Amino acid sequence: MIGNLELKITDPQKQIANPAEVPDHYTDAQKAKIENAAKQFESLLTSMMLKSMTKTSEGMFGDKSFGGDYFDTVFQNEIASFISKNKSMGVANVLYKKITGEDMDSKAQSSQLSPLNNGSNSDLKLNNDSIPITPSTKSTDRLSRYDDIINSASQQFGVDKNLIKSVILTESAANERAVSSEKAKGLMQLIDSTAKEMGVSNVWDPKQNILGGTKYLAQMLQKFNGNVDLALASYNAGPQNVEKYGGVPPFEETQNYIKRVMGYLNHLKGAANGTEQSI
């Protein structure tokens, strides 16, 4: 997985290690895949450079804005993708040439490069094979304050602690005072009716909010026989919509929500297993 890295790069091509020995000849389809992977690598590297450059100014949107750290990530990755596709630094071409022995043919473009990030309330689209999502340092720092509560909720309701954390990061970026346009509140963005149903008397109390949100998530997991995608779809769009459509509803917000939660989940599991990647 991709860790939180700070980069000081004067020559991006120095970040490219010598590749392993590879075959001399590739089919057009294989070359297209290599080209796409090289472009994604350059886009990721550009995104990390932008993140490092904006760190001292607390990001593009500042430190205090609700959702700012999420939108920082979105815009950094979108800008990186745009730069890589429209004014390349040359990293992708160097990688491609090292592997294939040829220069990229700009007239034979591979499938469009997918954005590196996505989330609810955005027009970004991802396929499941795109580069995993990583939370901002600021949101994970906030989230660490609630480790004991999350661990307790995980044990009490039998929900993976990293799934709870991923939902919190997606719902509120671990901001306990967050309020959505739909009046969902707190870390796990509980609406009043759900909070009351889960026995939450004070939605602003982090412990009650996390326990209530986890209890509801556990109920959705049980309702859909442990299917995480359907449980998350229910958490976002309501179980009635999942039942109505016989699966994940055809709502872009809900589909992006699931991808974002799962991206965070994969990142957290990779960090716990010590498998984060570095460049």
DSSP code per residue over 120-160 = TTS-----TTSPPP---HHHHHHHGGGHHHHHHHHHHHT--
Task: Pick the closest to residue 71 from 131, 121, 125, 115 (CA basis).
Answer: 121
CA 149 vs CA 48, 197, 273: distances in Å: 32, 20, 22
* Own/partner long-range contacts of 51-59 (Cβ < 8 Å, ≥24 apart): 51/76, 52/5, 52/6, 52/7, 52/8, 55/6, 59/136, 59/138
Task: Pick the closest to residue 120 from 167, 79, 157 (CA basis).
Answer: 167
Output the 3-class SS for 21-54: CCCCCCCHHHHHHHHHHHHHHHHHHHHHHHHHHH
CA separation for the pair 193, 173 (Å, rounded):
22
Task: Pick the closest to residue 177 from 153, 142, 211, 135 (CA basis).
Answer: 142
Cα dihedral value 114, 119, 122, 128, nearest 10: 30
CA separation for the pair 264, 88 (Å, rounded):
28
Amino acid making up residue 165: K
CA separation for the pair 193, 21 (Å, rounded):
60
Catalytic residues: 171
